[in-house]
Amino acid sequence: MLTFAAASLVLIMIPGPDQALITRSALAGGRRAGLLTMVGGVLGLVVHVGAAVLGISAVLLASATAFTVLKVVGAVYLVWMGIATLRGARRTLREQSGTPDGGDGTEEDGAGGRYVRYGFLSNALNPKVALFFVTFLPQFLPPDGQVFPRAMALSLVFAVLYLLWFSLYVVTVDRLGRVLRRPRVRARIEQVTGLLLIGFAVRLALQSP
């Protein structure tokens, strides 16, 4: 269990689409927005855990066509988010001489569901997450006996570590918010985040089945 927890934490800490989206949300909507995006990410993990336990992920990864469809949809989503973030950076620079629109680090009314959706789709449409639960998780399961309870326990450990790491990350971003939300600084971060999301999309699109 300790080996699994350590390996999972390393994988969670590696920069990826989740971190980029959570950063984007925390800067745009404050701490609550970042945490809601994180919750969406956990819900996306639940989808993959359920699919892996039921064997759906194994079937998906065994089918080149199904894998390619999910990969393309996920890549398109990341490109869309990347372009939206780059447009947000341009808007931030235009507004720096006036009153920022939604740039004060507070969540807009009714925006909570949108942030949860961002995180959920980022994980649910990522075949690499499915790959993790199908290839990495089974290495820590007993060869016989209580496979299902053990798989659920390990998945819970992964989800808790995910929540702890990104909660700490969101709090850190929020505490540095006064500096990070300065129009010029925020615009640069949004530009880097947008390019990273597009880069993740390209890497995902080029991934072999």
In this prediction, residue 106 carries a pLDDT of 52
Q: What is the mean pLDDT of residues 185-203?
A: 80
> Computed over its alpha carbons, how large is the radius of gyration of the chain?
18
Q: Are 34 and 184 in contact (CB under 8 A)?
A: no
Q: For residues 146 and 83, what is the distance between their CA atoms, to the nearest angstrom?
A: 46
pLDDT in tens, 139-166: 776 666 566 778 788 888 999 999 999 9
Q: What is the mean pLDDT of residues 37-61?
A: 79
Q: Residue 188 belongs to what H/E stretch?
A: helix 183-205
pLDDT in tens, 8-17: 888 788 778 8
Q: Are 122 and 40 in contact (CB under 8 A)?
A: yes
In this prediction, residue 60 carries a pLDDT of 61
DSSP assignment letter at 14 = S
- Tell me if the pTM is above 0.85: no
Q: Are 94 and 183 in contact (CB under 8 A)?
A: no
Q: For residues 68 and 154, what is the distance between their CA atoms, to the nearest angstrom?
A: 28
pLDDT in tens, 50-108: 777 676 666 666 677 766 776 787 788 778 878 887 887 787 777 665 544 444 455 55
pLDDT in tens, 106-144: 555 457 788 999 889 888 887 777 777 777 776 776 666
Per the model's pLDDT, the better-predicted residue between 39 and 8 turns out to be: 39
CA 82 to chain centre: 13
In this prediction, residue 125 carries a pLDDT of 81
Q: Are 105 and 182 in contact (CB under 8 A)?
A: no
Q: What is the mean pLDDT of residues 4-32?
A: 84
Q: What is the mean pLDDT of residues 189-199?
A: 81
Residue 79, helix vs strand vs coil: helix
Q: For residues 130 and 204, what is the distance between their CA atoms, to the nearest angstrom?
A: 13
Q: For residues 22 and 31, what is the distance between their CA atoms, to the nearest angstrom?
A: 10
Q: Are 194 and 82 in contact (CB under 8 A)?
A: yes
Q: Are 107 and 30 in contact (CB under 8 A)?
A: yes
